Structure 1
Amino acid sequence: MTGAPLAMLELATELLSCGATVYVVPLSKRGGLMSELSRRKMKVLEDKSDLSFKTAMKADLIIAGSAVCASWIEQYAARTVLGSSQIAWWIMENRREYFDRAKLAFNRVKKLIFLSESQSKRWLAWCAEEHIKLKTQSALVPLSVSDELAFVAGIPCSLSTPLFSPEKMLEKRQLLRNFVRKEMGLTDNDMLVVSLSSINPGKGQFLLLETTRLLTEGAPPLNRSAVKSQDYHKRTLLHNWKQFGEWKKESSTEVLQLPQVFAKGVNYKAGTENDRRTRKLFSLTEGKQGEKLKVLIGSVGSKSNKVPYVKALLNFLNQHSNLSNTVLWTPSTTRVAALYAAADAYVMNSQGLGETFGRVTIEAMAFGLPVLGTDAGGTKEIVEHNVTGLLHSLGRPGAQVLAHNLQYLLNNPLERQRMGSKEERK
């Protein structure tokens, strides 16, 4: 469970802890949401049932937690004379298709709330294009680290007690790190880089794998485009997702090609001086201190994954078996604290518009991990370049910069610690 449902679940939990009465109207029941609502003993109402609308009319506050709430808001507005005075709409998406889906309901609510400055500017610019004037000024409310995660990270929070003080939790975090790394088969000489999200083109996992291959084998990038056509990653950057649904109709036995990820202007012909320098620089993914790179990608079990894209990644790994010693997978990300504790750095490689905000980015920072992120969306607002992490550009050119940034952290463990300490204080 990720994104809007998780954010709303945590918000509901906080409201309950303050003594509020909370009713949840889930628009989607996927990803373990319902079992978690049951575990937390939250009252659930069916979406679009009369009971949900009648209950909402009696509420002091209605918080809609996604652009996809537009239909519910429209139906609620048609049933009540209360107007928009109760509704705060916390929008968590950043693509135009979500704006188009939601725009007719903007003035049905009291307040629009965004996650990041970049998202806010983009949506307000679209409003201007469509000549939509909001009734009130929008607000900015970014996500935060949950108390449960902060507690494990050793950050003071509501769960801290004299017996489990932040200092003692930091000691336990180190024990957790040692245990998890041992279970993974890692040594003190391994630099574990983690990237956690649903697996789809917009998250940039293939670019990360190709970067890892360059570091592992000192090899040039692929000369052929990857998933079906030369413009695949261009489509990702332009958010043309229409053709993606057609892949589901393809035979599962069809070989999916993999994307070319580096800039066209770079010459990687075998035997060239440039290629020899690249191989020398990235030889064996080993840093000056003898550290070796390990990359953990998750979550393989997410219901939000794009199956054809996952198949393409697995096909790529089959073609480059040497990566099997470097790339690790996690089936789910329900126990993220343990993964953050075991890691040495975090990669946020989202493409296109980037992350709307980046929940996992701030979670990784809470555990003192330097973040290697794309210079886009919410990531560039969270990560301070050369202070709390390193930024790289989108797409093919950015993949090569990411390779250099990974090598830099591999060569400089003290620099990783410096960036991580800045993040924990932030």
Structure 2
Amino acid sequence: MGKEKNAWMGMQKKRWALMVLALFSLSTVMVFFMRTAFDSCSASTSTGFGGGKVREPEIHSDDRLRSVAPNPLQFMKSKLVLLVSHELSLSGGPLLLMELAFLLRGVGAEVVWITNQKPAEPDEVVYSLEHKMLDRGVQVFNARGQKAIDTALKADLIVLNTAVAGKWLDAVLKENVAQVLPKVLWWIHEMRGHYFKVEYVKHLPFVAGAMIDSHTTAEYWKNRTRERLRIEMSKTYVVHLGNSKELMEVAEDSVSRRVLREHVRESLGVRSDDLLFAIINSVSRGKGQDLFLRAFHESLQLIQDKKLQVPTMHALVVGSDMNAQTKFETELRNFVLEKKIKDRVHFVNKTLTVAPYLAAIDVLVQNSQARGECFGRITIEAMAFQLPVLGTAAGGTMEIVVNGTTGFLHPVSKEGITPLANNIVNMATHVERRLRMGKKGYELVKERFLEQHMAQRIALVLKDVLQNAKSRADS
């Protein structure tokens, strides 16, 4: 009888895990997958540690949103909005724009989506995402058709997503470009130098505004366009992102978290009391998986040399794709074999769902190199799961992680390997500190990085842009 009961409970647990995974697969696609749009936030050259002068976030910030009562985007009801994406893929930029599309549809705006660059052959991802939008009432038009031109001319607001989307203006609108620029909001996520081309951004001074994900990125764009391209940015707004309601529901549901944690750890061969450090990004040199693994190996050596008593430690790399980064991926695996830590390091292929892995791990490592992340949404997602973050002191991460309070920061490049190793050991040897940092991170998310906070910040931008567009049309 006991065996039958245990078997039944086991079946129920697995069934519940599968249900949770299925339920949140759609929401978490907005959260993570081959964040190539945010790969572009990693620059090709290093700025070094502490090179940027960025204000550290405060736990009790002045911009705390105490009231979210009616929907801040309600004024967009019945407005016609055209969203222009440079591509439609499971990457950060397009998924953020889709999220904005759904927020606007939620208040009754008429939303039209066009994709400037689409594969020549039928593509399953494009087909799937287009139908997700159609199911939510977003209209999808051909980027180069007459409908797109007519919509641009009639629209109350046009959002260009990423710098590359700027190519659409001249290629499609042609002589009508000047007519639409006063109602264009340019949402920029890139930081890599090759995006600073006149052919992409020559219209930046003339649009209604530019919206950028972090203060660091905004300053970089202002300085770079002025110095390299000899143009001035239009009015620039900094809008920090927020976690979706769906992800927060998983993060705050102790039953879901526990089931997902057990399910993922069992699949990896990681015991319940082992310590699991993870890096969750598309695998590429700019995301620093190689330096993370070197730091992890160094931390194991430190623990052995100092004869520290800590739980068994594991490293998890989520976002693997041998087809995309064959040489780099091979390098990572060869390092693991060479250092004889194959039983401690786990690779997971690129995935639609990040919530199960956030539930399963103990510490997130955000190791993006060079100029770091534009914002790094995975950071606030991890904090929602009450995880401390070990991040590089670069880019938007410095505007999220409170060093010593919600996690620790370390330098970029090879200089960061030993500091990161020491921080890993710190997390392993100070359980209370690790848990306390996780709770502080969660408090910061609740205060500043929820969907309603992002909606409120975007609403302020859209109001200003619409007002400016109207003023310019009347003058």
Report the alpha carbon displacement of residue 8 of structure 1 after superposing the two structures with TM. 1.0
Aligned amino acid, residue 199 of structure 1: V
Q: Partner residue of 1:295? A: 315
1:235 corresponds to? none
Residues in 1 aligned to 2:266 and 2:213: alpha-carbon distance in whole angstroms: 37
> Counterpart of 1:38?
131
Matched letter for residue 305 of structure 2: K
Whole-angstrom distance in 1 between the partners of 2:303 and 2:242:
40
Does 2:4 match 1:4? no
- 2:149–2:173 CA contact under 8 A, matched in 1: no
- 1:195-239 deviation per Cα after TM superposition (whole angstroms, max 9, x unaligned): 1111111111111111222233x2xxxxxxxxxxxxxxxxxxxxx
Higher relative contact order by CA 8 Å / sep ≥ 6: 1 or 2?
2
Q: Which residue of structure 2 lines up, in the alignment, with residue 208 of structure 1?
A: 292
Q: Distance in 2 between the 1:131 and 1:52 partners?
A: 31
Who is 1:347 aligned against? 365
> What are the superposed Cα offsets for residues 61-82 of structure 1, whole Å, 9 maximum, x if unpaired?
1111101111012335524262
Distance (Å, rounded) in 1 between the aligned partners of 2:203 and 2:325? 30
SS at match of 2:342: helix
Instruction: Decide which of 231, 240, 244 is 1:146's aligned counterpart.
Output: 244
Please report the TM-score for the alignment, with normalisation by the length of structure 1: 0.76
Q: Is the 8 A contact 1:5 1:33 kept in 2?
A: no
Tell me by how many angstroms 1:314 deviates.
2.3
- Going from structure 1 to structure 2, the CA distance change for 1:397 and 1:279 (only over 3 Å counts) comes to farther
Q: Aligned partners of 1:140, 1:76: CA distance in 2, in Å?
A: 28
Give the conservation status (yes or no) of the 8 Å contact 2:282–2:319. yes
Residue matched to 1:131: 230
- AA in 2 matched with 1:411: T
Kept in 1: contact 2:243–2:380 (CA 8 A): yes
User: Aligned in 2, Cα 1:302/1:140: closer, same or farther, shift over 3 Å?
Assistant: farther
- Residue 316 of structure 1 aligns with which residue? 335
Residue 280 (structure 1) aligns with: 305
Q: Within 5 A, what are the aligned runs for 1:248-287? A: 280-281=305-306
Q: Is the 8 A contact 1:90 1:112 kept in 2?
A: yes
Farther off after superposition, 176-185 or 349-358: 176-185
Q: Partner of 1:324: helix, strand, or coil?
A: coil
State the partner residue of 2:181: 84
Q: Please tell me whether the aligned partners of residues 83 and 108 of structure 1 are also in contact (alpha carbons under 8 angstroms).
A: no
Is 1:361–1:371's contact at 8 Å kept on the other side of the alignment? yes
1:374 is matched with: 392
Match of 1:72 in 2: 168
Match of 1:266 in 2: none
Contact 2:213 2:375 in 1 (8 A): yes
Residue type of the partner of 2:403? H
Return the alpha-carbon distance in structure 2 between the equivalents of residues 131 and 319 of structure 1.
49
Tell me the residue number matched to 1:95.
Answer: 192
Q: What CA distance in whole angstroms lies between the structure 2 residues aligned with 1:34 and 1:138?
A: 34
| 1:75 counterpart SS class | helix
Alpha-carbon distance in 1 for matches of 2:404, 2:439:
13
Evaluate the alpha carbon distance shift between residue 98 and residue 68 of structure 1 in structure 2; reply closer, same or farther with a 3 A threshold: same
**Equivalent-residue separation in structure 2 for 1:351 and 1:152 (angstroms):** 30
User: Partner of 1:22: helix, strand, or coil?
Assistant: strand
Whether 1:51 aligns to 2:51 is no
Distance in structure 2 (CA, Å) of the matches to 1:57 and 1:302: 44
Range moving further from structure 2, 372-381 or 192-201: 192-201
**In the comparison of the two structures, how many residue pairs are matched?**
345
Partner letter of residue 283 of structure 2? I
**Is residue 2:275 matched to residue 1:191?**
yes
Q: What per-residue deviation string (whole Å, max 9, x for no partner) do you get for residues 165-217 of structure 1?
A: xxxx233323332333233322232111111111111111111111222233x
CA contact (8 A) 1:115 1:141 kept: yes
1:4–1:176 distance in 2 versus 1, CA, 3 Å = same
How far apart are the structure 2 equivalents of 1:178 and 1:370?
20
Q: How high is the TM-score relative to the length of structure 2?
A: 0.68
Matches within 5 A, 1:232-243: none
1:301–1:182 distance in 2 versus 1, CA, 3 Å: same
Richer in helix (by share): 2
Give the superposition deviation at 1:302: 8.4
Change (3 A) 1:5 1:350: same
Structure 2 partner of 1:398: 416
Q: Percent identity?
A: 32
Q: Is the 8 A contact 2:275 2:361 kept in 1?
A: yes
Change (3 A) 1:327 1:76: same
Aligned partner letter, 1:366: A
* Aligned equivalents of 2:389, 2:116: Cα separation in 1: 33
Whole-angstrom distance in 2 between the partners of 1:380 and 1:33? 34
Task: Tell me whether 1:419 sits opposite 2:425 in the alignment.
Answer: no
Displacement of 1:16 in angstroms is: 1.6
Structure 1 residues 307 and 28, CA gap change in structure 2 (3 angstroms): farther
Question: For 1:176, which of 260, 263, 274 is the aligned residue?
Answer: 260
Mapped to 2, the partners of 1:385 and 1:400 lie a distance apart of 17
C-alpha separation between the residues in 1 aligned to 2:322 and 2:100?
A: 22
Aligned residue type for 1:214: E
CA displacement, residues 144-174 of structure 1 (integer Å, 9 cap, x when unaligned) = 21222122112xxxxxxxxxxxxxx233323
C-alpha distance in 1 between matches for 2:304 and 2:220: 41
Distance change in 2, residues 1:330/1:63 (3 Å) = same
Deviation at 1:308, TM superposition (A): 1.9
SS of residue paired to 1:143: coil
Distance 1:317 1:28, change over 3 A: farther
* Counterpart check, 1:20 vs 2:109: yes
Quick one: distance in 2 between partners of 1:8 and 1:324? 39
Q: C-alpha distance in 1, partners of 2:100/2:239?
A: 12
SS at match of 1:351: coil
